[in-house]
Amino acid sequence: MKILVYIESTNNKIHPVSLESLVAAQKISESNGAEVHAVIFNTNLIDALSNYKLDGLITPDNEELIYYHPLLYLEAFNQINLKYKPNLFIFGHTYETRDWVPRLSAKLDIPFISDCVDIKYSDKITVNRPIYQAKLAQKLSITSEQAIISFQAGSFSADDINRGVCNSNSESFDLSSVVDTINMGERFQESSGGVDLSSAEFIVSVGRGIGKEENIPIAENLADKINAQIGSSRPVVDAGWLDHSRQIGSSGQVVSPKLYFALGISGAIQHLVGMKGSKQIIAISKDKNAPIFEIADYAVVGDLLEIIPKLTDNL
């Protein structure tokens, strides 16, 4: 069996979920001896991978692959497939993956099982993935010769990566056949002066359950008291109550603080993805069925407007 892991670059760094995907591949390799290869298009980052245990690292000669372009990536992968014929392609379930990997599935005519959270091997590859907004889970066995899977952030820990030797083989892709119908523009950020929550020790995070904008200070007072940063779920940002830079989740920041204090956050899967790595989670919600309670260490079913001001005073 041959596994190919795609190493995505983001802001000229390796995307954390790519390393987690590599852990998944290594895990399979341990149980069935599969070859694990990796592909990285951003050649600036090759060195960062040189200490990992890999059967091969494919790197391109082509400069135009340094920056993401769906059609160029698609053609490059098409050529990789012809040469390497991996049984399993593994991606992180990132925004970039969503943008072009489904095309790859169509181009190669092989299934793409996206947003997985676990993988196992015994006779065949089985994966787990959440369905119905993570209220249910499904377990799938791959029966086709080749398949693509992608992993949700946080499914594996990058700390578990096996180190070792890695040989890189440079490939030259012929991309001349690609008809350019997509002209990618400059990337930009909308909010002024972004807040980096990824290094915050404590986070007090606000969800729709706070009720209205005027109640935001209740959360801010608590945050001040315990030296925490303010974070939020998407609806609060969409409503304009907090700046986009505070947003945590699949379309915001991914955080792993010592304490994540969720106020009125029900825990939509898109939010949980961004904070489930937190060491301790305290959640307050009126809804006793709120999914966030599933991953919380401490769950309070109650009215945060009553509890939090008193708690802040008490601390």
178-237 residues in contact with another protein (CB under 8 A) are 181-191, 194, 202, 212, 226-228, 234
Q: How many residues bind another protein (CB under 8 A)?
A: 89
Cα–Cα distance for residue pair 251/180, rounded to 1 Å:
28
Q: Does 1 bind another protein (CB under 8 A)?
A: no
Least Cβ distance, residue 225 to another protein (angstroms)? 8
Q: Considering only 22-30, 40-48, 167-175, 240-248, which stretch makes contact with another protein by CB under 8 A?
A: 240-248
Among 31, 64, 95, 224, binds another protein (CB under 8 A): 95
Least Cβ distance, residue 294 to another protein (angstroms)? 6
Chain positions 150 to 179 lying near another protein, rule: CB under 8 A, are none
Q: Does 138 bind another protein (CB under 8 A)?
A: yes
Q: Considering only 31-39, 47-55, 96-104, 156-164, which stretch makes contact with another protein by CB under 8 A?
A: 96-104
Cα–Cα distance for residue pair 274/145, rounded to 1 Å:
33
Q: Who contacts 279 (Cβ-Cβ below 8 Å, separation ≥6)?
A: 256, 257, 258, 259
Least Cβ distance, residue 11 to another protein (angstroms)? 8
Q: For another protein, what does the binding mask look like between residues 292 and 311, x meaning CB under 8 A?
A: -xxxxxxxxxxx--xx--xx
Least Cβ distance, residue 159 to another protein (angstroms)? 17
Among 41, 89, 100, 241, binds another protein (CB under 8 A): 100
Q: Which is nearer to another protein, 26 or 253 (CB)?
A: 253
Least Cβ distance, residue 288 to another protein (angstroms)? 8
Q: How long, in residues, is the chain?
A: 315
Cα–Cα distance for residue pair 40/94, rounded to 1 Å:
15
Token reading at 55: 């059967």
Cα–Cα distance for residue pair 55/2, rounded to 1 Å:
10
| Strand 88-92, strand 13-14: pairing | unpaired
DSSP 231-269: EE-HHHHHTTSS-GGGBBSTTSB----SEEEEES----H
Among 135, 165, 174, 224, binds another protein (CB under 8 A): 135
Q: Considering only 28-36, 79-87, 133-141, 168-176, which stretch makes contact with another protein by CB under 8 A?
A: 133-141
Chain positions 16 to 45 lying near another protein, rule: CB under 8 A, are none
Cβ atoms of 54 and 21 within 8 Å: the answer is no
Among 45, 247, 271, 272, binds another protein (CB under 8 A): 247
Closest CA to 48 of 158, 157, 155, 187: 158
Cα–Cα distance for residue pair 198/176, rounded to 1 Å:
40
User: Locate tokens 């499914």: which residue?
Assistant: 155
Least Cβ distance, residue 231 to another protein (angstroms)? 13
Q: Does 142 bind another protein (CB under 8 A)?
A: yes
- First-residue to last-residue Cα distance in the chain: 57
Token reading at 30: 């341990």
Q: Which is nearer to another protein, 60 or 252 (CB)?
A: 252
